[in-house]
Amino acid sequence: MIEPGTLEGWAPSAASGDEFQHVVDLAFDYRGDVTVELSDGAERTGYVFNRDAEGTEPFLEMFETVGGPPERIRYADVRTIRFTGKDTAAGKSYAAWLERKTRAEADSAAADA
């Protein structure tokens, strides 16, 4: 089940300028794998761990799921990014854990009664 508020499954269409930068920033913040569509039609799937939009040649860096050293991809070569992997941060809040624990304790107390 997809967690409300997560980007998991989101597939933005090709963008440019600030909109594109925003998608890259979201991919950088995303705690799951993404699929980067390149302008030549190729795709790379993996975890985006870095991006630099301020240099002369803006780039992102990712570890591909297939392994190997990190790959650096120029913004200029990216068509769009799809959020294809599971969001590993979704549903992991302290509040959610506390709620589960309280419910389990209540169930256990009810079973003992």
Partner 1 sequence: MSVPLSQMWTVATYVLGQRLRGRRRYPLVLMLEPLFRCNLACAGCGKIQYPAHILKKHLTVEQCLAAVEECGAPMISIPGGEPLMYPEIGRLVQELVDRKKYVYLCTNALLLREKLAEAIFTPSKYLSFSIHMDGLRKEHDDAVCRDGVYDDAADAIRDSLSRGFRVTSNTTLFDGANPLRVREFFDAMMDLGVEGMMLSPGYSYSKAPDQEHFLRRQRTRELFASILDSPKKRWRFNQSPLFLQFLMGKRDFECTPWGNPTYNMFGWQRPCYLLQEGYARTFAELMETTRWERYGRKSGNEKCQDCMVHCGYEPSAVQATFTSLVGFRDTVIATVSGRL
Q: Could you tell me which stretch among 7-15, 16-24, 35-43, 90-98 binds partner 1 (CB under 8 A)?
A: 90-98
Handedness of CA 55, 58, 62, 68 (dihedral sign): negative
Residue closer to partner 1 by CB (options 39, 88) is 88
Tell me which residues in 6-65 interact with partner 1 (CB under 8 A): 28-29, 31-33, 46-47, 49-52, 61, 63, 65
At closest approach, how far in Å is the CB of 76 from partner 1?
A: 19
CB of 97 to partner 1, least distance (A): 5
Q: DSSP labels for the chain?
A: -PPTT--TT--PPP--HHHHHHHHHHHHH-SS-EEEEETTS-EEEEEEEEEESSSSS-EEEEEETT-SS-EEEEGGGEEEEE--S--TTTT--HHHHHHHHHHHHHHHHHHH-
If one asks whether residue 102 binds partner 1 (CB under 8 A), the answer comes out as no
Question: How many chain residues are in contact with partner 1, going by CB under 8 A?
Answer: 28
For binding to partner 1 (CB under 8 A), which residues are involved?
28-29, 31-33, 46-47, 49-52, 61, 63, 65, 67, 70, 85-86, 88-89, 92-98, 101
